[in-house]
């Protein structure tokens, strides 16, 4: 895959899947905008690991719609175009319906949807306006197997990812005539800080037993799927959802 001189914006790219995707795109010649919210030290480390030149750190809290717009403005000012948007940023908040009060419940839903779904929708809209003018592009959204199997301890997370899947497929149909291709990668548990921070030893053991590989996905494996969907040869895959979950959850 060759992404030479492509302008790629990746949200939540200071660590985990976003970082792996940034490294992979850079290795293929892309100019990468590394978005992050607050982890400046980690973002700077990611930037230092990108091969080539022309990469930039873009600190914005995309859960705030004005900040999402500013992020796209910053990116366009830097690169003059946006070829590929990877909506990777996400949060997961434990909020068990039988364990917490209503205020905590409502807050978990608001914060999760704001970051995982509304921000992706806003950024997709803003990026699409530039892609339409420039003759096309790719939007890749990072979802989760939780969109299909349910997340009893984090229901807002599962719902936000299901919404992201539906958003992606709606945009894939609407934007195809503008040569904008939209697709989704749906990982299972991946060796990221966000995933491991939520796991107790017992829950990790149960999770590992879900897959015949008896391991988590590596961020690089998810990044490979992202790059495939962003490549020109995958254009007819627009609207698809690729599972990267080690056969831990199989859907018909």
Q: Which residues are tagged catalytic?
A: 157
Q: Report the chain's terminal Cα–Cα distance, integer Å.
A: 30
- Of 182, 186, 185, 187, the closest CA to residue 237 belongs to 182
Question: How many angstroms separate the CA atoms of 171 and 127, rounded?
Answer: 12
Question: How many angstroms separate the CA atoms of 105 and 97, rounded?
Answer: 7
Helices vs. strands in the chain: H and E counts, helices first: 10, 7
Question: How many angstroms separate the CA atoms of 30 and 71, rounded?
Answer: 18
Question: How many angstroms separate the CA atoms of 204 and 55, rounded?
Answer: 35
DSSP 8-state assignment for residue 36: E
Question: Are residues 209 and 238 in contact, defined by beta-carbon separation less than 8 angstroms?
Answer: no
Chain mean position to CA 207: 22
Tell me the Ramachandran region of residue 90: left when phi exceeds 0, alpha when psi lies from -120 to 50, beta otherwise: beta
């Amino acid at each position: 895959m060759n992404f030479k001189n492509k302008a790629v914006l990746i949200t939540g790219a200071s660590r985990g899947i976003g970082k792996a995707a940034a490294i992979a795109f850079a290795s293929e010649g892309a100019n990468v905008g590394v978005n992050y919210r607050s982890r400046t030290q980690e973002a700077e480390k990611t930037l230092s690991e990108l091969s080539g030149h022309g990469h930039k750190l873009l600190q914005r809290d995309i859960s705030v719609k004005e900040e999402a717009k500013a992020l796209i403005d910053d990116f366009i000012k830097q690169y003059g175009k946006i070829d590929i948007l990877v909506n990777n940023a996400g949060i997961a908040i434990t909020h068990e319906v039988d364990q917490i009060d209503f205020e905590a419940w409502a807050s978990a839903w608001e914060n999760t949807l704001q970051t995982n779904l509304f921000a992706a929708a806003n950024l997709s809209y803003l990026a699409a306006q530039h892609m339409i003018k420039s003759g096309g592009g790719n939007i890749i959204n990072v979802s989760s197997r939780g969109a299909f199997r349910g997340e009893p301890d984090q229901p807002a997370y599962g719902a936000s990812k299901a919404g992201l899947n539906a958003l992606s497929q709606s945009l894939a149909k609407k934007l195809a005539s503008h040569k904008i291709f939209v697709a989704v990668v749906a990982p299972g548990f991946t060796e990221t800080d966000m995933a491991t921070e939520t796991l107790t030893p017992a829950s990790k053991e149960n999770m590992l037993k879900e897959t015949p590989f008896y391991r988590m996905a590596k961020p690089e494996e998810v990044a490979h799927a992202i790059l495939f969907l962003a490549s020109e040869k995958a254009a007819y895959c627009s609207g698809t959802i690729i599972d990267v979950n080690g056969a831990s959850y199989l859907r018909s």
